[in-house]
């Protein structure tokens, strides 16, 4: 019996996600020189993954 394709392991997922986690957004904002040390982690501006 075959398994449904949605049960693939997470390591094989190569699809680019369109939603970033908070720490990923902070890293991206740091790289863009928008984030300053001491800024809050809430209410971050919207970002698009690169």
Over residues 1-50, the pLDDT tens digits come to 788 877 776 666 567 778 888 888 989 999 998 888 888 878 888 887 76
Instruction: Give me the pLDDT at residue 10, please.
Output: 60
Examine residue 12 and state whether it is found in any structural domain, yes or no. Answer: no
Contact 22, 41 (CB under 8 A): yes
Examine residue 32 and state whether it is found in any structural domain, yes or no. Answer: yes
Instruction: Give me the pLDDT at residue 31, please.
Output: 92
Domain containing 25 equals: 17-44
Examine residue 2 and state whether it is found in any structural domain, yes or no. Answer: no
Examine residue 28 and state whether it is found in any structural domain, yes or no. Answer: yes
Half-sphere exposure of 43 (CA within 13 A, CB side): 2
Examine residue 8 and state whether it is found in any structural domain, yes or no. Answer: no
């Amino acid at each position: 019996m075959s398994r449904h394709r949605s049960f693939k392991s997470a390591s094989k997922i190569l699809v680019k996600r369109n939603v970033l986690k908070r720490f990923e957004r902070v890293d991206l904002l740091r790289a863009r020189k928008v984030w300053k040390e001491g800024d809050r982690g809430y209410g971050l501006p919207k970002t698009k993954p690169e």
